[in-house]
Amino acid sequence: MKTFLSRSCLFVAACAYAATAAAQNTSGPGAPAEEPQAQEVGASAAARPGPLARVFSWAEIKMDGASTPHDGFYPELGGMIPGAGFSAGPGYRHRLFGDAAVVDASAALSWHRYQMMQSTLTWPRLFDDRLAVGGQVRYQDFTQINFFGIGNGSQKSNQTDYRLKDLDALGFATVRANAWLSITGRTGLLRRVGIARGTSTLYPSAGDLFDETSAPGLTEQPNYLHADVAMDVDTRDVPGYPSRGGRYRVSMAMFHDQDFARYSFRRIEADAAQYVPLGRSVVALRGRMDLSQTGDGQDVPFYLLPSLGGSNSLRGYLDYRFRDRDLLLLGAEYRWPILRQVDAALFYDAGTIAPTASTLSRHLHTDYGAGIRVHAARRMLIRLDVARGQEGARALLSFSAPLALPNRTVAPYVP
């Protein structure tokens, strides 16, 4: 842990130095207002950007999926699920029919040999930017996903892993009622789902400790017809590293077992994040609830259960430490600038899982910690968190903003 933490701190410090040196002209969230003379100097510097500044600007534009896509290659970084480790690969975007459509294809490989390939075709601005439609095909091979069992009583000593492969093809449409309200519908077919032995040499495979009774879906995996609809309210100032506003999302999803008539279920999700500026500092708050519903004789596969643990939820616990049908998560973070493009943070997380919604408040898992965030004007570049929970301390590196609402994969269902 000490070696990892020291190397992580050096890495983040190097990123902070590069970001600060390269972005002297960019005022990020929480940066102080500049005097007129300083602005003139900044303008002069902007006219003659150095190599670091050009790299910094290029990376921000290419990695910012919320901005207008630019044609050409870009780096696919951090697009994997928690537990993959650092991942990288090539991506390519190209606009078709003028600016009417965008084709995007990318692939990535992580240091735990997770693999991802995807191709998306989107018409993003139909009917005066009121409608977006598109389709995506995505292949995934995740080689060592943690599994400890189901329920709050699962033991850390029962840590196992499993390998998950799947292919998902879906279509989607988003209606934008105004600048802050959108409604999105998706429907797709999840095929070739396969559970196999995990590749980790440190822990046994899930099949060595668990069976179909304790881990539904372990021995047989159906193809799924799935559909969901979500309402999204977004008032954040910038999506990648907000300092004010909020995002609120409610969704309903359906998964229909195409093969065994045993694993059909429904899920309701409510997720909210709010950002409150306090001078140059920011308080971020998040709450989330997931509820699963099944009919008689049906069950939710263990790899599609809501889970807690990792950089997107309970940071003081291992990835996917707790799983069950229903989930409750609360988080708070206070951050303040220490350099122009670097923030320090203190945070607290609390969450629980349960077989029914009525028992969600009975056992709460908590953690607390501190972190460093290296960010640009519109997005976070990298963060280091050190968290302590009831099972020990952890250090985590991540490319995603803390307490942000995630863009989840269909399978596995991740925090």
> What CA–CA distance (Å, rounded) separates 302 from 197?
15
- Amino acid letter, 127: F
* Residue 43 CA: distances (Å) to CA of 18, 20, 36: 20, 16, 11
In the DSSP assignment, the letter for residue 156 is: G
Is residue 82 within 8 Å of 319, Cβ to Cβ?
yes
Which helix (H) or strand (E) segment holds residue 167: the answer is: strand 160-176
- The pTM (predicted TM-score) of the whole model is 0.82
Give the max Cα distance, the chain.
72
Mean pLDDT of the chain: 85
Lowest mean pLDDT among 20-29, 289-298, 362-371: 20-29
Which CATH number applies to 2-35+120-398: 2.40.160.50, 3.40.190.10, 3.30.930.10, 2.40.110.10? 2.40.160.50
* Residue 79 CA: distances (Å) to CA of 89, 170, 229, 296: 10, 18, 23, 37
> What CA–CA distance (Å, rounded) separates 310 from 319?
4
C-alpha torsion 174→59→145→367, nearest 10: -90
- Beta-strand ranges (E) seen in 130-280 are 131-147, 160-176, 181-197, 224-234, 245-257, 265-278
**Residue carrying the six token digits 């009525």:** 358
**Residue carrying the six token digits 């303008």:** 43
Q: Tens digits of per-residue pLDDT, 241-299?
A: 999 999 999 999 999 999 999 999 999 999 999 999 999 999 999 999 999 999 999 99
- Whether the per-residue pLDDT at 157 is higher than 90: the answer is yes
Q: 92-122 in b/e burial notation, b at 16+ Cβ within 10 A?
A: ebeeeeeeebbbbbbbbbbebebbbbbebbb
Q: Residue 54: helix, strand or coil by DSSP?
A: helix
* Residue 214 neighbours by CB under 8 Å, 6+ apart: 149, 150
C-alpha torsion 336→342→344→348, nearest 10: 90
Between β-strands 181-197 and 224-234, what pairing exists: parallel, antiparallel or unpaired?
A: antiparallel
> What CA–CA distance (Å, rounded) separates 87 from 94?
23
> What CA–CA distance (Å, rounded) separates 391 from 315?
11
The token duo for 49 is: 């950007």
User: pLDDT tier at 14 (50, 70, 90 boundaries)?
Assistant: very low
Lowest mean pLDDT among 139-143, 354-358, 403-407: 403-407
What angle do the packed helices 51-63 and 2-22 form, to 10 degrees?
110
Please report the pLDDT score of residue 20 as a whole number: 42
Question: Which residue did the predictor score with more confidence, 362 or 253?
Answer: 253
Which helix (H) or strand (E) segment holds residue 170: the answer is: strand 160-176
Q: 226-244 in b/e burial notation, b at 16+ Cβ within 10 A?
A: bebebebebebebbbbbbe
Residue of 166, 165, 146, 164 whose CA lies nearest to 156: 146
Residue of 28, 39, 21, 146 whose CA lies nearest to 83: 146
Question: Which residue did the predictor score with more confidence, 379 or 269?
Answer: 269
With a pLDDT cut of 70, the percent of the chain lying above it is 83
The sign of the dihedral angle between the CA atoms of 353, 357, 363, 367 is: positive
* Residue 44 neighbours by CB under 8 Å, 6+ apart: none
Please report the pLDDT score of residue 80 as a whole number: 85
Q: Tens digits of per-residue pLDDT, 59-102?
A: 555 555 444 557 899 988 877 888 898 899 999 999 999 889 99
